Amino acid sequence: MARTKKNEEMEQNLTAVEETNVTVSENEAPVLLEDAVSEELLADAEEDFQLAEEAALPEMDLSSELPADFEQSPDGIEPLQEEPAPIPEASMEEKEATTGHSESEPEKVKRTVRQKRAETASNGENLEEAIEGKDAVTSAEKTGKRTARKRAATPSVLTIESRAEVETPDDREEMVWHEIHNAYRTRKILTGTLGGIEQTENGKTIAIVYYKEMRIVIPMKEMMIKLSQENAADYGEMMLRQSKILGTMLGAEIDFVVKGIDSKTRSVVASRRDAMLKKRQLFYMETDASGMYRIYENRIVQARVIAVADKVLRVEIFGVECSILARDLSWDWLGDAHERFSVGDEILVRILSVKRDLVEDIVVKADVKSVTSNTGRENLSKCRVQGKYAGKVTDIHKGVVFIRLSIGVNAIAHSCYDNRMPGKKDDVSFAVTHIDEERGVAVGIITRIIKQNL
């Protein structure tokens, strides 16, 4: 019975929709859009009709007892408290069409069409925005891919270790130039290696210093090479002497202050004089928090070897140059200082005296052997009279041969039994005749020359 009543209601709705289509076609001249809407409404109605048939329950005898919440109505049984189920928009329009207000129905259909047009336009705008957004994302992805391709096209260094970084020569040059530029602005003291001596077109002598492979030019007058008053009398003789001293300093580490730079040609001019005066002021003239000088007598400090000769060693002690004779270099007799010291070495020295009247006139005396212990006395006890030991000739002075024995003892020989005359650095056989404990030397004769150093 319920199914029969539902079918009758659907037939009434279809009839109302057909009347609405007829009314709209009579009132409106262009009926193309309204016909499309009517066809859409008919399709919706037919779909609802099919859904209603599928959801219809089997026929039942409802004349029996009913619950208290229901009452009999002329059209059938309807619940009193339960709200109707939501109806699609098309079905609501169909209900309004069945109420009998046929005069306002065309306006409602027109309004619905306008709403649909507005919704279509808004959907179109949203679609365009979505397309534009998608195009933007796509273009960004393409740009990212293009950038990645460019990066991939850039040649990279293949390292042995995974994810290791390697600096190219250009990168190192830029880094060194940046350091020099900052040192020029801050007047910072830099340290480089003296690598050459050149003559300019004007006849001036310049020193070439390399700071991390960067060429630095220092004029001769800025090297602060002081000579005695006798050598300074003649300008030509003084320049020749300074050039010789500068030649012995090749390979030494020196301090400098950048005085000028040229960014276009990457040229740098510096001064060693300013760096040495700055260090002198800090370490010799100024005092620390306790009120003491940083460099004073009997203090052990570190020094740089800037020149080496056979019998003398020249060092720089915090901006002050000092010469140390061979007798102050070691407890052992040294025939040549080159055997133990080289230009560029850093050694420990003991300050013997300091004269600090003016910053430009500071005099320091130092030695090396007092820093080490004297083992000559202990080794002298190992030497026996009438014993023969091998040794090397360190020096010959006025017929007296000075020998350094292999057991670590200094020896003196006044005669030689070999037909040949011993020379410096010769290997000889030495026989001990006497031990002088006061002087700490062994006295004897050379029995023969083992090997000559020609």
Which of 372, 389, 412 is the last residue in one of the domains?
A: 372
| Arithmetic mean of pLDDT over the chain | 77
299 shares its domain with 328: yes
Is the confidence at residue 206, as pLDDT, over 60?
yes
Is the confidence at residue 56, as pLDDT, over 70?
no
Residue 254: inside a domain, yes or no?
Answer: yes
Q: Convert the pLDDT of each residue in 59-115 to its tens digit.
A: 444 444 444 444 444 444 444 444 454 544 444 444 444 444 444 444 444 445 555
Q: How would you class 271 by CB atoms within 10 Å of its CB: exposed for 0-12, middle for 13-18, buried for 19 or more? A: buried
Tokens (6 digits) for 120: 């279509």
268 shares its domain with 308: no
Per the structure, the count of domains in the chain is: 4
User: Strand 70-73 to strand 205-211: parallel, antiparallel, or no bridges (unpaired)?
Assistant: unpaired
Q: In angstroms, how far is the first alpha carbon of the chain from the final one?
A: 140
Q: Convert the pLDDT of each residue in 220-269 to its tens digit.
A: 999 998 876 555 556 777 888 888 889 999 999 999 999 999 989 999 99
Where in the sequence is the domain holding 366, given as residue range(s)? Answer: 288-372
264 shares its domain with 292: no
175 shares its domain with 270: yes
Which residues lie below 8 Å from residue 263, measured CB to CB, with a gap of 6+? 181
Which of 372, 405, 428 is the last residue in one of the domains?
A: 372
Tokens (6 digits) for 225: 């090479």
Which residues lie below 8 Å from residue 379, measured CB to CB, with a gap of 6+? 407, 408, 409
How confident is the model over 142-163, as a mean pLDDT?
Answer: 62
Q: Convert the pLDDT of each residue in 280-314 to its tens digit.
A: 999 999 988 888 999 999 999 999 999 999 889 99
What pTM did the predictor assign?
A: 0.60
How high is the pLDDT of residue 438? 85
359 shares its domain with 400: no
15 shares its domain with 97: yes
Residue 126: inside a domain, yes or no?
Answer: no
Residue 150: inside a domain, yes or no?
Answer: no
264 shares its domain with 226: yes
Side-chain half-sphere exposure of 358, counting CA atoms within 13 A:
2
Q: Convert the pLDDT of each residue in 40-55 to its tens digit.
A: 666 666 666 666 555 5
86 shares its domain with 55: yes
327 shares its domain with 248: no
CB 376 within 8 A of CB 440: yes
Give the residue with greater pLDDT, 201 vs 126. 201
How high is the pLDDT of residue 138? 55
Distances (CA, A) of 81 to 69, 70, 86, 87, 158: 7, 9, 15, 18, 82
Q: E strands along 150-299, which residues?
A: 189-199, 205-211, 214-219, 253-262, 267-271
How confident is the model over 437-445, as a mean pLDDT?
Answer: 90
Residue 335: inside a domain, yes or no?
Answer: yes
Which of 372, 404, 432 is the last residue in one of the domains?
A: 372
